[in-house]
Amino acid sequence: MSQEITAQQLNPEQFIDEKTKEIISIVGDGIAINALSGGVDSSTVTMLGHRALGKRLKTVFIENGLMREGEPEMVAALFRKLGVTVEIVDAREEFLNALKGITDPEEKREAITQTFYRHVFGRIVKASQAKYLLQGTILTDIDETVAGIKRQHNVFEQLGIDPLEAFGYQIIEPLIQLRKDGVRKVGRALGLPAGVFERIPFPGPALAARVIGEVTRERLDTVRKATSIVEGALKDTKAFQYLAILHEDRVTGITQGKRAFGQQIEVRCWDSVDARTATPTKLAFEKLDKLAREIIDQVPGVVSVTYNIASKPPSTIESV
């Protein structure tokens, strides 16, 4: 297991220098690939990889249909400004097909993992002749997977899976000793704008981690709209993370004077330092009230909005 470097111990410049050298020594004069999702970890690893390898790092954004509103274009435009070319790969159908009919959380995660690493990435890596995948796995991802809480989509070696054998390429994980607070410091030192290194965490399985029950195009649209409203409304709270979850249960509501057996959105807003433990933010009731109205007005089919008041543990930050 890798030795943890806490955010307090971390010297970002020294860390960047060491990791750059390490990446160069592994990749040599070959090619590496990385998948950018626009989250803090993958954005930081993209900048680190480009500092080490320049154009020999090919960066792709996998549009899996599970991302937030406008995300692929927004991320590609942002990195273009930083001198990094991002290729957007449309794999929406493939992910939706793989998720069809699945309701069990761990099976959902497995379907996403296999689609991502074996199928979509397998093809991209083969076509590019790269032998290495640079990935932003952090210590918290490993802790939860090894503890058997959630199989994080990007953890293999610690589960006894050799990526080279399983998928045909090696995975390099330069951020593996850090937690989120440490990654933010490194991202900042690498020149990422505050809008990126301060961005709230977003999970690898993306909105599929926020849909309880089957993930369909319609249900993704619902949770995507709610996510956008929640992110806009809670941005000024400075909380660690805030999100919307779509429940599977329906409840009776009233829409335009008629019975509507509608959907339920749960809002979560967390105070946390490193995601290992978290408590719900004590939001003002007026804020919650306004948020609920906005969700009900703007997200078709939703008749109920709840706010989570349980802590992690025993809750987790995401719902799946």
Q: How far apart are CA 80 and CA 77, in angstroms?
A: 5
- Can you tell me which of 10, 246, 275, 292 binds ligand XMP, judged by CB under 6 A? 275
Which residues inside 35-64 make contact with ligand XMP, applying CB under 6 A?
none
- Can you tell me which of 5, 209, 291, 303 binds ligand XMP, judged by CB under 6 A? 209
279 binds ligand XMP (CB under 6 A): no
Q: H helices of 161-261, where? A: 163-167, 180-189, 194-197, 217-234
Cα 20 → chain centroid: 24
Beta bridge partners of 57: 32
Cβ proximity to ligand XMP, 222 vs 241, nearer residue: 241
Concatenate the DSSP letters of all residues of 61-121 into one string: EEE-S-SPTTHHHHHHHHHHHTT--EEEEE-HHHHHHHHTT---HHHHHHHHHIIIIIIIH
Q: How far is the CB of 318 from ligand XMP (least distance, A)?
A: 3
245 binds ligand XMP (CB under 6 A): no
111 neighbors 82 (Cβ within 8 angstroms): no
199 binds ligand XMP (CB under 6 A): no
231 binds ligand XMP (CB under 6 A): no
Concatenate the DSSP letters of all residues of 270-290 into one string: EE-SSSSSBEE----HHHHHH
Count of residues touching ligand XMP (by CB under 6 A): 17
144 binds ligand XMP (CB under 6 A): yes
Cβ proximity to ligand XMP, 156 vs 303, nearer residue: 156
Q: What are 139's two structure tokens? A: 């210590």
Q: How far apart are CA 274 and CA 277, in angstroms?
A: 7
- Can you tell me which of 49, 174, 203, 301 binds ligand XMP, judged by CB under 6 A? 203
241 binds ligand XMP (CB under 6 A): yes
Part of the chain binding ligand XMP (CB under 6 A), chosen from 1-9, 87-95, 199-207, 300-308: 199-207
150 binds ligand XMP (CB under 6 A): yes
Reference 37, options 137, 111, 118, 109; nearest CA is 137
Return residues touching ligand XMP (CB under 6 A).
140-141, 144, 150, 152-153, 201, 203-205, 209, 241, 275, 312, 316-318
